[in-house]
A and B are shown apart, each in its own frame.
Chain A
Amino acid sequence: MRYVWAAALKDIRRRLRDPLALLIWLGIPFVILALLSLVFRGGEISPQARLLVVDQDDSMVSGLLVGVFAQGDMAQLVQAEEVSEEEGRRRIDEGDGSALLIIPEQFGNAVLTSQPTRLTLLTNPSQSILPSILEEILSLLVDAVFYLQRLAGEPLAAFASGPPEGAAGFSDPFIAATSIEINQLMTSLTEYLNPPRLDVSIEIEESEEHKSLNLGALFFQSMFFLAILFAAQGMSDDVWVEHRLGTLRRALTLPPGVGGFLAGKLLAGFLLMLAMAVAGISAGAAIYGFPAANVAPSALWAATSGMALLVLFLLLQLFATSQRAGSILSTLVLFPMMMLGGTFFPFEAMPGWMAAIGRRMPNGWALERLKELLSGSATAETMLPATAALLATLVVGTWLAARRLRGGFVGR
């Protein structure tokens, strides 16, 4: 064990003397993360409903109704766009929009005279939440109109019915009295109507699995694991470096033999990845709010699974015919793992079939367990078999690597 520790220390020293590789492994994923965070505005999700409006009435009242959606906080939630009926129906059929509101002719007149009228709201079935919000808002507005009719029904009806018969227009006293009455009413209601007093609270119910995660956190997990993947692939190459240096041949003549040599290399990989994991996940916990208690088990899992990935890449290197061939072979394996295994694009951003494939890849499988540990949804029932599988992979992979190392590899 003392030799294994010395061998690991030797490899760590060598890595630290050449920190460029370490910086690249860590740097590339986190530069990508920073860029993605900028693109997605720091990871904040701000849903916005697109309301297509067909205003067949084109009156002051219908204008006021459409205007409600462009005022205050409502404007951040709803983007209203006036369209023709034909275009509106076509676009809602194509799924381009959350809902289509059709305001019929004579709508304004009906409102002013307390006559029945019908607003039509066609919703987009492919969206579940935003159309419901629009429906709710419209329902509240209709209620508001109802109460307005109750409170100011008479003056509104008087205006709607036009001036008395034979008169050229409304008399000045009538206009003055009605104006004062409406002004007093509006003054008392202005707090509620301008803009409409609607408190919209958006609560997106997360699945239990991804509770408390936002887009930034999802990308963080992927990018963090990408760093682990890069480190595993990068470190696997060291067996060729040792071969070139002649130190591999000498190491195999030592009493601990090939087992000690490999164990030292894996321990060095584990410790370096553990350091990366502790730093990365602690930063992630500070930025994205992962519970602090989850940092240690998550870092341990990340480093152990990183070590298993190192063994897999090491096997590829050992079966390659040259360092160059090993580099090409491991890169050929790295890219699909990276792109499909959730370590570049989160599974949540992938089509279902692709995510299903990715979750079965070694890195995808390990990443899913890491997410469970980070979110606190991991249980002993899931983690114990997973840990056993990981350790079994390590043992079998190391045994195969030792056989290959002792066999054909060293004689090259």
Chain B
Amino acid sequence: MIEVEELRKEYGDLVAVDGVSFTAQGGAVFGLLGPNGAGKTTTIGCISGLRQPTAGRVRVMGHDVVFEGPASRARLGVVPQDLALYEELSATENLLYWASAYGLRGAALKKRITESLEVTGLLDRAREPVKRFSGGMKRRLNFACGIVHEPQVLLLDEPTVGVDPQSRVRLQELVKAQAAAGTCVLYTTHYMEEAETLCDRLAIVDHGKLIAQGSLNELRAMLGERDLLRLSGRFPSEAQIAAALAGVEGAEIVQAEEGSLIVAAPQASRELPALLAALTRVGAEVWETTMTRPSLETLFIKLTGKELRE
């Protein structure tokens, strides 16, 4: 279990993480979803002991990461965002090194290395130098290094960035298997589909702040089953638009910028003619309309007013 309470991390004037709190349980995947620079990696860094929190408290399996660093780190497995492998060494030698840090030795060490290579599909390439591996194979070995010691808590920092679709699916299966085996998995990503597929619970972060958290269903409910309408064209002021949309039931401005407008509305396909008529009445000129069904992405846009991949 990971318990994060009012975590804050500052770098000089920059507040990278601002009062983030959440709890991730064993046997489930907890997702941290947010755009680049939202504070996900810093949060992982504070949990893993790589960074010292400025304020707040983090416990891993009940051990405070600041005051009981070695004990908390002993329960962690970390799969960093970037590859962390020795390219001159073989897959076995890499695993041997990382596993030895957790006190594994002898037959147990050999067994775990073999198992890790097997689940990641690298057993037949175990003795080859890593520099000969493909990108996907390196990603899988990177994952194997994080699980070789069977950690109680597994931190995965965007492990599928830049990975081909086949390897991505393989890695996602490995993550699910870890959670199914009882491991507490904390998974950061900025891929909506990945979060929806993998995570049992989610926290959405932006600008260092946690803006929503819950299960996928709980988060979808926050959107109120409303569709998102993205309109492009020429629009009057936000106040005029708001006044015009007051006559359309359940319609709400999510984002209004020059040349674009995002509106949340229940059953938007049915309300679209009324909505366009209301906008035309206040002088708007709509050139293009796109409708999106409720999803994490629409929730993110609703909560932050921007696209996740911005």
Chain A positions within 8 Å of B, measured between CB atoms, are 2-3, 6-7, 9-10, 13-14, 17-18, 245-247, 249-257, 260, 410-411
Contacts and interface: CB of A to CB of B under 8 A. Distances in A.
A367 B98 CA distance: 38
A411 B51 CA distance: 9
Interface in B199-215: none
Given A13-B93, A253-B49, A253-B76, A2 B105 contact: yes
Given A245-B87, A249-B84, A6 B101 contact: yes
17 contacts: A3-B100, A6-B97, A7-B101, A10-B96, A13-B93, A14-B86, A14-B88, A18-B88, A245-B86, A246-B82, A247-B85, A253-B50, A254-B73, A254-B101, A256-B101, A257-B49, A257-B69
Interface in B86-126: 86-89, 93, 96-98, 100-103, 105
A253 B73 contact: yes
Contacts of B103: 2-3, 255
B79 to A, nearest CB: 9
Contacts of B87: 245
Contact of A249 (B50, B74, B85, B97): B50
Given A13-B89, A247-B84, A257-B69, A252 B100 contact: no
A10 B103 CA distance: 16
B162 interface: no
A255 B97 contact: no
Given A245-B84, A247-B85, A255 B96 contact: no
Q: Give the interface size bracket for B toward A.
A: 20 to 34
A248 to B, nearest CB: 8
Given A245-B84, A245-B85, A252-B49, 5 more contacts: A10-B96, A14-B89, A246-B82, A251-B101, A410-B50
Given A246-B84, A247-B84, A254-B73, A10 B89 contact: yes
A253 B48 contact: yes
A59 to B, nearest CB: 82
Contacts of A255: 70-71, 73-74, 101-103
Contacts of A14: 86, 88-89
7 A-B pairs with the lowest CB-CB distances in the bound complex, closest first:
A6-B100, A246-B84, A250-B84, A254-B101, A17-B88, A253-B48, A255-B74
A253 to B, nearest CB: 4
Contacts of A257: 49, 69-70, 73
B53 to A, nearest CB: 14
A17 B89 contact: yes
Contact of B93 (A7, A10, A254, A256): A10
Contacts of B169: none
